[in-house]
């Protein structure tokens, strides 16, 4: 019995050691980015790597705001990300409630067809989508990005799986009490689905914040561009300002880290319960 206990302790110690090493390996690129943001361009790719710059160049964090209109880009990105995230939470949770708790003809077939769109790469319908947006007169507007990203098949799938873990008897009791489907969704389902909503918020926020191709296709005017397009502006035809790129990347990473740290306590719970059916 004692031998078995010792073997278990050794196994757990090795497992935790492996997890720590993997975590450190994943953090290395971020540490290198932070270190490079305080260097001159010629020092970014020197080998061996100088992890702690001997002469940190803090002015990089001041120059990124004057070299390009980073403040405007950041404002545009925040605007698009908040609006898209809110709309995806609204539409995904609303549609998921219908698919999970309402009975109507063709429900399962419609859900299967909608979810099947996840398997289709965006590049397949990128050109027809662009032509459609242009025909609507929405090209070169933020509304184009908002309309295209306000709905998410993945979000509907995630929320539906969570709603299915909520007992149907709870909804039936609410209907007997005279509550409408809208009130059941708003007053019962939404408060119970905080873990799933937090998980969807993280995924949507990160995807929208880091989106590059969408703004690249639909936004050409300088005052409409996002921070991801702005990072590309530090790269010219003959040179690249790597120190400024890394500094701007650090600034762009901060909101994502804040959102994740704020909602991470619900994240694991949301992922775990989304795959359960009560």
Mean pLDDT of 22-29: 87
From 258, 169, 247, 244, select the one nearest 209 (Cα to Cα).
Answer: 258
Domain span at residue 112 reads 57-274
What is the C-alpha separation between 36 and 26, in angstroms, rounded? 17
Percent of the chain whose pLDDT exceeds 70: 92
pLDDT in tens, 64-98: 888 888 889 999 999 999 999 999 999 999 899 98
Per the structure, the count of domains in the chain is: 1
pLDDT in tens, 243-253: 888 888 888 88
- CATH assignment of the domain containing 198: 1.10.3720.10
Task: Spell out the alpha helix ranges (H) of the chain.
Answer: 2-36, 41-44, 60-67, 70-101, 107-115, 126-135, 142-149, 153-163, 168-176, 181-184, 190-192, 194-209, 213-218, 227-232, 242-274
Confidence category of residue 271, pLDDT binned at 50, 70, 90:
low
Percent of the chain whose pLDDT exceeds 90: 11
What is the C-alpha separation between 259 and 206, in angstroms, rounded? 9
For residue 242, tell me if it sits in a domain.
yes
Residue bearing the bigger pLDDT, 7 or 91: 91
Residue 269, pLDDT > 70, answer no
The pLDDT value given to residue 272: 53
Name the average pLDDT for the chain.
84
The pLDDT value given to residue 89: 92
For residue 8, tell me if it sits in a domain.
no
pLDDT in tens, 120-144: 888 888 888 888 888 888 888 899 9
Of the candidate ranges 60-69, 154-163, 182-191, 228-237, the one whose mean pLDDT is the lowest: 228-237
For residue 189, tell me if it sits in a domain.
yes
Tell me the Cα Rg of the chain: 24
For residue 49, tell me if it sits in a domain.
no
From 199, 111, 209, select the one nearest 160 (Cα to Cα).
Answer: 111
For 121, counting Cβ atoms within 10 Å of its Cβ (0-12 exposed, 13-18 middle, 19+ buried), the class is exposed
Residue bearing the bigger pLDDT, 271 or 167: 167
Mean pLDDT of 22-28: 87
Encoding tokens for residue 3?
A: 């031998």
Residue bearing the bigger pLDDT, 4 or 82: 82
Mean pLDDT of 102-116: 86
For residue 234, tell me if it sits in a domain.
yes
For residue 33, tell me if it sits in a domain.
no
The pLDDT value given to residue 273: 52
For residue 65, tell me if it sits in a domain.
yes
For residue 40, tell me if it sits in a domain.
no
The pLDDT value given to residue 205: 92
Mean pLDDT of 177-195: 85
The pLDDT value given to residue 267: 66
The pLDDT value given to residue 278: 43
Confidence category of residue 3, pLDDT binned at 50, 70, 90:
low
Is this structure's pTM higher than 0.75?
yes
Q: Under a CB-based contact definition with an 8 Å cutoff, are residues 99 and 111 in contact?
A: yes
Residue 63, pLDDT > 90, answer no
């Amino acid at each position: 019995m004692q031998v078995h206990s010792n073997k278990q302790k050794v196994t757990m110690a090795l497992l935790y050691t492996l997890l720590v090493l993997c975590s450190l390996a994943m953090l290395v690129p971020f540490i290198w980015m932070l270190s490079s943001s305080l260097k001159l361009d010629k020092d970014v790719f020197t080998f061996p790597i100088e992890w702690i710059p001997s002469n940190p160049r803090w002015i990089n964090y001041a120059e990124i705001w004057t070299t390009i209109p980073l403040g405007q880009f950041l404002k545009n990105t925040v605007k698009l990300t908040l609006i898209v995230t809110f709309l995806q939470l609204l539409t995904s949770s609303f549609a998921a409630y219908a698919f999970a708790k309402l009975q109507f003809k063709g429900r399962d077939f419609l859900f299967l067809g909608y979810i099947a769109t996840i398997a289709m790469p965006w590049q397949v319908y990128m050109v027809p989508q662009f032509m459609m947006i242009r025909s609507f007169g929405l090209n070169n507007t933020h509304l184009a990005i908002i309309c295209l990203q306000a709905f998410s098949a993945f979000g509907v799938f995630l929320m539906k799986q969570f709603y299915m873990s909520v007992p149907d008897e709870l909804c039936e009791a609410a209907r007997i009490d005279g509550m409408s489907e809208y009130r059941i969704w708003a007053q019962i389902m939404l408060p119970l689905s905080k873990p799933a909503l937090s998980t969807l918020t993280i995924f949507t926020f990160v995807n929208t914040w880091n989106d590059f191709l969408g703004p690249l296709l639909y936004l050409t005017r300088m005052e409409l561009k996002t921070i991801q397009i702005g990072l590309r502006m530090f790269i010219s035809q003959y040179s690249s300002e790597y120190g400024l790129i890394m500094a701007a990347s650090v600034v762009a990473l901060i909101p994502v880290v804040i959102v994740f740290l704020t909602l991470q306590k619900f994240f694991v719970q949301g992922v775990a319960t989304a795959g359960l059916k009560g």
